[in-house]
Structure 1
């Protein structure tokens, strides 16, 4: 096994688990552990900044001695990477040393604060935005700047991380739809009984929302051919031959939540 294959092997295992089982979500703690080990940083996290303000932050491991959510919440106006991504709307993997600093005393104090916490060197991996948010996976360490090899590796991992995030978004919406009709356990059991993978459930969920194959592919970050293959596998397992029948069948057996059903009303058996 080559060095690249050794690096990517645990990511493939993580993705396989997330895409196979509907009851399994993406284990971001595992992803963070891999990022920390492979990019030589003691802290990794997922960061989401909302268009209306505020941030959702999860650090691995959870830091002690300071409030990471507070630090990240102030990033949009003070952090060089946050300012750069907000202004340029790009998704290139960058380190804090790759972009111009933010000027002004508040920004200088912010960088001093990062250094005091031992997290002044940041590398951010942008993830696909949704509903006006900005999302990144980031790693932080003290002292040494990130090397070209580390930036290259992070860029290689970006596609996998983005794909995991897009899949997690669709599956979260699928679970939320079932939660509204109190039918999630049945959905898990039925999908398992007919051997639908989480990926097939994801494409069927988007199909049920009226997405075309091309749009499903864009939403999940995959090729149209791959999306079509997942749909064909789902049709076969549902015992149908085309998408309208597939959606109706999936709703009838509880794999998809019934469209327009009021809260507490599950699909008919």
Structure 2
């Protein structure tokens, strides 16, 4: 119990710091890294709006995974995820592990996806920490590890962390509604760089378009990443999307990384 309380107290401090200042973009990169430290497992941030608008980002990239084809298959299997089915059937949204979901709720699509893609990578056991589920929209962190399921202590810690994530998400949504133009304090030039970034342009392409040096582009990107709580192009574009800083045509980040 002492270990659970210690791990939870660290989260109370972190979320308290974030709540104490205006934050307009959900800092999923920061939170993913902290979850990795807390649970010592692979962590992914997952979003789902529709079968065409969904995906996941891993804290620790796995070489060669996922390919675009594999990502498409996994995205299509999201509605079949055992824990999401558990949430929908029971109405209980507390953190849950795949291993604790009754076999009757696990369909063949979920079994095949797990066996084909996750078991070989050693991430077949998963815990889903949901912080938003409204209609078709799902936002969650997924903890993953290999042969051994997560412990009751892990589930207890996740259950205590979840309401902190929900509280942070709700404050961010309220702040964006209250001050949409001041949300992330991006300068005009930083916003211009961000929007070109979302179009898939390289640093050289952005520099040419704005008539500035690549070095200046990288400096602007450093500021953008810091203000959005992002660690790279993908997480920056996703955070900007969540903060409504990008036009509707710039919802999906392109595969080119200018870093």
Say yes or no: TM over 0.5: yes
Q: What is the aligned-residue RMSD (CA, Å)?
A: 3.2
8 Å Cα contact 1:66/1:117 also seen in 2:
no
The answer to whether 1:85 aligns with 2:87 is: yes
Change (3 A) 1:74 1:52: closer
Change (3 A) 1:40 1:71: farther
In the other structure, the counterpart of 1:22 is 22
Gaps of 5+ in 1: 187-269
Deviation sequence 1:53-76 (CA, Å, 0-9, x none)? 531423213443212854651333
Gaps of 5+ in 2: 189-259
Match of 1:120 among 110, 120, 124: 124
In the other structure, the counterpart of 2:181 is 178
8 Å Cα contact 1:94/1:123 also seen in 2:
yes
Change (3 A) 1:172 1:120: farther
Cα distance, 1:150 vs. partner? 1.0
Cα distance, 1:123 vs. partner? 0.4
Question: Aligned equivalents of 1:103 and 1:8: distance in 2?
Answer: 34
In the other structure, the counterpart of 2:236 is none
8 Å Cα contact 1:46/1:136 also seen in 2:
yes
Cα distance, 1:160 vs. partner? 0.9
Extract structure 1 runs of 4+ deviating beyond 4 A: 2-5, 23-26, 183-186
Question: Aligned equivalents of 1:46 and 1:169: distance in 2?
Answer: 18
The answer to whether 1:47 aligns with 2:75 is: no
Q: Give the length in aligned residue pairs.
A: 181
Quick check: which has more Rg, 1 or 2? 1
Q: How does 1:3-152 map onto structure 2 within 5 Å?
A: 3-22=3-22, 25-41=25-41, 43-51=42-50, 53-67=52-66, 69-70=71-72, 72-101=74-103, 102-104=106-108, 106-112=109-115, 113-130=117-134, 132-152=136-156
The answer to whether 1:162 aligns with 2:161 is: no
Q: Secondary structure at the match of 1:128?
A: strand
